[in-house]
Structure 1
Amino acid sequence: MQPVFADPKTDFVFKRIFGAEARKPLLIALLNHLLELDGERRILDVQHLSSDQHVGVAELKLSIVDVKCTDATGRRFVVEMQVLKVEGFEKRVVYNASKAYVMQLRNADEYPALCDVVGVTICNFNLWTDRDERGRLKVPMLSRWRMQEQHSGGRGLSQVQYAFLELPKYAAGDAPETLVDKWAYFFREAKNLNVVPPALSEGPFRDALEVARTATFSPEEWEAYERAKMAEQDARGALAVARQEGVAEGHRSGLAEGHRSGLAEGHKSGKAEAILAVLATRGIPADEATRARILGCSDAAVLDRWLARAVTANAAKDVTDPP
């Protein structure tokens, strides 16, 4: 049976809610609430970046919406929904925000013209799991990050900042009260709801649910949504295969070369097999040359990029030699 609401964490639905020009108020509300902006600090309008300004990084980032805010400060925001935790994820977040900062320079523009950038990332996994002596998480569900002087604790160099919403840390149940809790509840539970719950019955939360209501999808949109869900499942399966193959190969290689080096080699081998498994699952044949190149690659970072491309590639050669 078709669900009442589509999963807002998927690429298609996330962009349908927050990436459309006609639904800018939803994106504005999300940013104001997650960045805890009020009064004169509130964002009043946003302008979506053109496609040639998007940061192009071939990773397993299943959703990304880049926006430029036209508030009084001219700040720019990189807003992202990240479903799967992949190797180098935190570095990629820093890269995306830094690239958005640098890309503002055009021709005769000079450094004083650069505006601040804030990376806003919603994660469907825990990034920071350390706890204090009382068992409480050291980093809360919504965390904000900026430069700090190590001796005095003074804050500065605020040009690039970050905000993270870690959905697994949500603990308010079915009765969220704060605006941040309501967004976390929306992202976590929308796909499981049959009706609009009281907690999400007003303001941007109800509007976001209405956009995610599957009854409003055209047949083409429903097909796009199902493809996005399949891509997520393929990616999860590929990562699981990589881990399993990596552990198995690691044990075998470890007998001869030591556990640590063997496990590393096993992970690489597992990733290569995972790439081919994703292609096979999607019905995309791999010719011998492409197959040999994938299996012969020993660079873990390259294999990660190829695994990400395998989820959406139209042909096997697009994995190792994208158009």
Structure 2
Amino acid sequence: MRPLFADPKTDFVFKRIFGIEEHKPLLIALLNGLLELDEAHRVVEVELLSPEQRPPVQELKFSIVDVKCVDARGTRYVVEMQVLNVEGFEKRVVYNVAKAYTGQLQGGQVYPDLDDVIGVTVCDFELWPRREAPQVPMLSRWRMQEQHGGARGLGQLQFVFLELPKYDASRPPRTAVEKWAYFFREASNLQVVPEVLAEQPYTGALEAARAAGFTEEEWDAYIRAGMAIQDERGALSLARKEGRAEGLQAGLRASIRKVLGKRGLALSAQQEAHLEGCADTGTLERWLDQSLTAASATEALR
């Protein structure tokens, strides 16, 4: 039996809500809410880049990346939903934003023509755990700062993070930021539209996530997306457990073999040697991630 609303944190539903032409007003509302922009600087137009314009970054293929959003200053935004906290995540976010910035230098453009880029990432985990960094709030904004006097500058690259586990569930949401956090956290558990979300743009987002509106093919895709997340959680957990006992890299190799085996993707002798010979933990974690959806063992170990 389908729930009333599908989980907006899954790749499939996140893209269904914020990544298609007919729902561009929802993406605009999300950005304006999370960026807390005043009227003079609100995002007024969104252009979704076609797939061939997105950077070929394997680790980012399940996220909405390089969403070009134009505000009064011409600033661009990169929007992403991240469910799992994997090694090197922060570096990946920085790389993606930097890629969007440098990627503008095409067709004879010069440096003064470069627009600022802001990365907006919704995390279903604590990137800065409260016990280690209690000063980092649920919604945090990051930019470069001069280390002696504290002056802020070089704002061409900026980063915004919404850490969903930091949401205060002890009271109803009040601000736009809190309402979006509530939506992402609780949508799949709702039996009715709650009063706090009974207004646009939240009703529009809930309607886009309404499970009854999914075709059978879309529902199957949604289920597969959820299973992929659970498989990845299990694979990462297994890798960490085996890593503690036998070494992290050995655990990762075992998890890659297990995932590929369950998906019917056999490793050739050459691929097995390639896997066994890899001594880079980051590469092994990337291969494990790719093993969940790759069409072949060759693609998984690319």
Q: TM-score range by the shorter chain?
A: over 0.9
Matches within 5 A, 1:110-129: 110-129=110-129
Shift of 1:98: 0.5
1 CA distance for matches of 2:18 and 2:270? Answer: 41
Shift of 1:311: 1.2
Matched, 1:214 2:243: no
Match for 2:230: what amino acid?
Q
Structure 2 residue aligned with 1:24: 24
* Secondary structure, counterpart of 2:67 in structure 1: strand
Instruction: Specify whether residues 176 and 130 from structure 1 end up closer, same or farther in structure 2 by C-alpha distance, changes over 3 A only.
Output: closer
2 CA distance for matches of 1:100 and 1:65? Answer: 9
Matched, 1:320 2:267: no
Matches within 5 A, 1:103-252: 103-131=103-131, 137-173=134-170, 175-249=172-246
Structure 1 residue aligned with 2:37: 37
1:49–1:66 contact (8 Å) kept in structure 2: yes
Shift of 1:61: 6.6
Matches within 5 A, 1:50-89: 50-59=50-59, 62-89=62-89
Match for 2:79: what amino acid?
V
Shift of 1:129: 2.0
1:66–1:77 contact (8 Å) kept in structure 2: yes
Matches within 5 A, 1:296-311: 296-311=277-292
Shift of 1:284: 2.8
- Equivalent position to 1:275, from 246, 256, 268: 256
Instruction: Specify whether residues 174 and 187 from structure 1 end up closer, same or farther in structure 2 by C-alpha distance, changes over 3 A only.
Output: farther
Instruction: Specify whether residues 195 and 174 from structure 1 end up closer, same or farther in structure 2 by C-alpha distance, changes over 3 A only.
Output: farther
Identity %: 60
Shift of 1:166: 0.3
* Secondary structure, counterpart of 1:302 in structure 2: helix
1:75–1:115 contact (8 Å) kept in structure 2: yes
Shift of 1:96: 0.4
Match for 1:207: what amino acid?
G
Which one is further off, 276-285 or 147-156? Answer: 276-285
Larger radius of gyration: 1
2:232–2:292 contact (8 Å) kept in structure 1: yes
Residues 174-197 of structure 1: CA distance to partner in whole angstroms, max 9, x if unpaired?
Answer: 621111011001101111111111
1:121–1:165 contact (8 Å) kept in structure 2: yes
Matched, 1:290 2:285: no
Aligned residue pairs total 302
Residues 100-126 of structure 1: CA distance to partner in whole angstroms, max 9, x if unpaired?
Answer: 000000131100000000000000110
Higher relative contact order (CA 8 A, sep 6+): 2
CA RMSD of aligned residues (A): 1.6
* Secondary structure, counterpart of 1:203 in structure 2: coil
* Secondary structure, counterpart of 1:122 in structure 2: strand
Shift of 1:291: 2.8
Match for 1:287: what amino acid?
S
Q: Specify every segment of 5 or more residues in structure 2 that has no aligned partner in the other structure, as ranges.
A: none
Shift of 1:270: 0.7
* Secondary structure, counterpart of 2:273 in structure 1: helix
1:242–1:273 contact (8 Å) kept in structure 2: yes
Shift of 1:60: 6.9
With normalisation by structure 1, the TM-score equals 0.89
